């Protein structure tokens, strides 16, 4: 009888140890951008993201995008069209623009939205999706700052539902953001989806492009640095009586201009992004180079050259010398994503064309998309078109 009891006790002890081991294996701990240790399931099948593309891009390069069951950005699944008037007569148009994630995964257009910029999270929709984890990127357009009260309430509400929540801090969450911010976000996502090695391989590639640009421009004397204006031809700014928007010194765009391309930000104010400027302010800046960014729409150089509402800017040096270039179409451009080295390269070629004349942007872009997303050349061409970058083909043919 005593032997039997000892056997039963030993069996129970073994079961307890095995059960504890199984329980430990059922979850993993991920430390997010807040420094919070989050317990997540070892097997993640259902993911809801509140992000404008960075999270979904990393999931795509890791091949786990099929785990997406809900989105928190209306810009991600949307297909965009733009039309602008010309003083030369008629209009010019741009069709079928989209985030690369959308182009590569068109089925996401049918996913439910749990929220979008300017609206609160629909917690009933979120709960109905039964996610294993929610990934919230602060700095994107839906929730732009860790100090925002709506962001704080959203984090508290999701955590109170018992759903594991991974919070990422994008570049706008920092006073002096650089490429290392995005690399850290990628590292966290790589850990979450058990693909850190692959994610860091891509992150290293992205950083290598930035390092190359920085190395080529390192020795430029202060007196020879061109003034580069990151200009947003925002229709909202025009409605408010402005000419457009600029990015101040605390933005990652300014970091790209001054620290990476070694040029000078024409807008030397210690402020953030999308600062509305009047026509008089823009004329006073009189930049040597203008780089057009996404600002409530895609804006090509033709708009600045030909639109009737910009004819009062035609005497600026950058316009007279035809030194205007456009960044890729990046819907909801509140924070940079995986394509940030394209911005760096466009800025560098615009500021110092002679130092980067060996880089033909049309082919360079195809190589970039193939390296980052592991796609073939045909698909890479499709992404280039979706980001409205086919102007690089015409430029290369000149």
List pLDDT tens digits, range 216-252: 999 999 999 999 999 999 999 999 999 999 999 999 9
Superfamily for domain range 222-359: Nitrogenase molybdenum iron protein domain (3.40.50.1980)
Query: Residues 312-337: what's their mean pLDDT?
Result: 96
Q: Alpha-carbon torsion 234, 360, 387, 200, what sign?
A: negative
Q: Does the domain at residues 28-204 carry the CATH identifier 3.40.50.970?
A: no
What does the buried/exposed string (b/e) look like for 276-308 if buried means 16 or more CB atoms within 10 Å of the residue's CB?
A: bbeeeebeebebbbbbbbbbbbbbbbbbbbbbe
Phi, psi for residue 232 in degrees, rounded to 5: -110, 120
Phi, psi for residue 11 in degrees, rounded to 5: -65, -45
Q: Measured between alpha carbons, how far is 97 from 239 in angstroms, rounded to an integer? A: 24
Same-fold call for 28-204 versus 222-359: yes
List pLDDT tens digits, range 57-109: 999 999 999 999 999 999 999 999 999 999 999 999 999 999 999 999 999 99
Does the pLDDT value for residue 395 go beyond 90? no
How would you classify residue 53: left for phi > 0, otherwise alpha for psi between -120 and 50, otherwise beta? left
List pLDDT tens digits, range 104-128: 999 999 999 999 887 899 999 999 9
Ordered by start, the domain boundaries in the chain are: 28-204, 222-359
Give pTM, 2 decimals.
0.91
């Amino acid at each position: 009888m005593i032997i039997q009891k000892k056997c039963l006790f030993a069996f129970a002890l073994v079961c307890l140890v095995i059960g504890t081991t199984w329980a430990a294996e059922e979850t993993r701990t991920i430390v997010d951008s807040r420094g919070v240790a989050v317990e997540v399931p070892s097997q993640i099948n259902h993911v809801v993201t509140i992000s404008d593309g960075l999270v979904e891009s990393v999931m795509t390069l890791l091949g786990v995008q099929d785990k997406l069951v809900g989105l928190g950005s209306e810009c991600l699944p949307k297909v965009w069209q733009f039309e602008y008037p010309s003083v030369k007569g008629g209009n010019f148009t741009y069709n079928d623009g989209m985030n690369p994630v959308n182009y590569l995964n068109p089925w996401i257009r049918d996913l439910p939205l749990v929220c979008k910029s300017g609206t609160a999270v629909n917690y009933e929709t979120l709960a109905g999706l039964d996610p294993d984890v929610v990934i919230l990127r602060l700095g994107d357009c839906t929730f732009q700052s860790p100090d925002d009260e709506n962001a704080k309430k959203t984090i508290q509400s999701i955590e109170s539902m018992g759903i594991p929540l991974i919070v990422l801090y994008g570049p706008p969450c920092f006073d002096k953001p650089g490429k290392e911010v995005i690399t850290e976000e990628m590292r966290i996502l790589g850990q979450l989806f058990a693909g850190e090695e692959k994610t860091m391989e891509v992150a290293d590639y992205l950083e290598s492009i930035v390092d190359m640009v920085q190395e080529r421009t390192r020795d430029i004397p202060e007196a020879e640095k061109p003034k580069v204006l990151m200009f947003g031809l925002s229709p909202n700014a025009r409605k408010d009586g402005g000419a457009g928007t600029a990015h101040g010194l605390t933005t990652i765009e300014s970091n790209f201009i001054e620290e990476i391309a070694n040029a000078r930000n024409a807008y030397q104010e210690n402020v953030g992004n999308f600062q509305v400027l009047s026509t008089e302010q823009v004329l006073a800046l009189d930049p040597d180079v203008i780089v057009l960014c996404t600002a409530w729409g895609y804006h090509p150089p033709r708009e600045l050259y030909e639109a009737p509402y910009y004819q009062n800017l035609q005497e600026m040096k950058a316009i007279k010398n035809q030194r205007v270039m456009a960044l890729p179409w990046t819907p909801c451009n509140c924070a940079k994503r995986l394509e940030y080295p394209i911005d760096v390269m466009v800025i560098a070629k615009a500021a110092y064309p002679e130092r980067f004349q060996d880089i033909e942007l049309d082919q360079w872009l195809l190589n970039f998309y193939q390296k980052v997303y592991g796609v073939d050349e045909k698909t890479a061409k499709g992404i280039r078109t979706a980001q409205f970058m086919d102007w690089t083909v015409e430029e290369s043919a000149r």
